[in-house]
Amino acid sequence: MRIATWNINSVRLRLNWIARLAQESNPDIICLQETKVRDELFPEDDIRAIGYQHIAFAGMKSYNGVAILSRVPLESVHTLNWCGKEDCRHIAATVPGGVELHNFYVPAGGDEADRDKNEKFGHKLDFLDEMTGWFSNNRSAGDKMILVGDLNIAPLETDVWSHKQLLKVVSHTPVEVEKLGQVQDSAQWVDAVRRVIPPAERLYSWWSYRAKDWTAANRGRRLDHIWVTPPLAGAIWGAEVVCDARSWEKPSDHAPVIVEFEEF
């Protein structure tokens, strides 16, 4: 079982790249964020033509949006609203093996790491608190679960190009890292990617569009994650960031992240 997460930055604009990922990396499930399309306009027929017959999505016009594209059946599909907003940042489903899969798009948080001056940053922190509370109150570490998505936080020093220079930059501030750690503790989530790729190794999944040559600058951040609860930790087989996708024509600024599992 190969599961990918990818902030696609418009599913309709990048359908060809979903097809390419399917052909070259062969994920069984692709979880998308920032689909940027209303549900009635979601390109279901195109996705099925690529080979994903089971589709779940929650979208809105121009912003946010999440989707699960699957070659295996999806059951118990549901969404949750966070912070009192119906802004399409979460979708979940149960996949074969009784595994509950959660796909999240955590708010980016704006430009200033001060909730008193920046409402978007406060929204991000509150969203993380709600995630912690929901999993603590509604699920347990003994449940078979996978959490994926653009979590918009690079927690480790090796998840950013410069720890010192980014300590006050939204996505790597101590308060964000602390709150993401609380989410992780809520169900004893295991960072599946870092279980395979050692934490000492620098690893990024996002590179700004502002860099003229992203490969030369390589000022990346690891914002995209795949976590599992302890019952699935032993099934982790491999992990990769498909960095080449960042060089495809008119790419997303995020690269797909894939984790491979043995049978659940």
Q: Domain limits at 153?
A: 2-261
Query: For residue 96, which amino acid is it?
Result: P
What gap in Å lies between CA 70 and CA 103, rounded to an integer?
A: 13
pLDDT of residue 114: 98
Sheet holding 66-70, edge to edge: 54-58, 66-70, 29-33, 2-7, 257-261, 236-241
Query: CB-based contacts of 19: which residues, under 8 Å, 6+ apart?
Result: 50
User: Residues 221, 225, 229, CA angle at the centre, nearest 5°?
Assistant: 150
Count of domains observed in the chain: 1
pLDDT at 264: 74
Q: For residue 103, what is the domain's CATH number?
A: 3.60.10.10
Contacts of 150 (CB under 8 A, 6+ apart): 5, 7, 33, 34, 104, 105, 106, 223, 224, 254
Instruction: Determine how many CB atoms are found less than 10 A away from the CB of residue 40.
Output: 6
Could you tell me where the beta strands, DSSP code E, fall in the chain? 2-7, 29-33, 54-58, 66-70, 75-78, 90-95, 99-105, 145-150, 190-191, 206-207, 220-221, 224-228, 236-241, 257-261
Q: What local confidence, expressed as pLDDT, does residue 28 receive?
A: 98
The model's pLDDT over 143-194, given as tens digits with 9 standing for 90+, comes to 999 999 999 999 999 999 999 999 999 999 999 999 999 999 999 999 999 9
Closest CA to 131 of 168, 181, 75, 73: 181
> Which amino acid is residue 152, in one-letter code?
N
User: What is the structure's pLDDT at 263?
Assistant: 78
Instruction: Please work out, in degrees rounded to the nearest 5, the angle formed at the alpha carbon of residue 103 by the alpha carbons of 230 and 234.
Output: 20
What pLDDT was estimated at residue 212? 83
Question: Structure pTM?
Answer: 0.98
Mean pLDDT for each 10-residue chunk of the chain (264 residues)?
A: 98 98 98 98 98 98 98 98 98 98 98 98 98 98 98 98 98 98 98 98 97 92 98 98 97 98 86
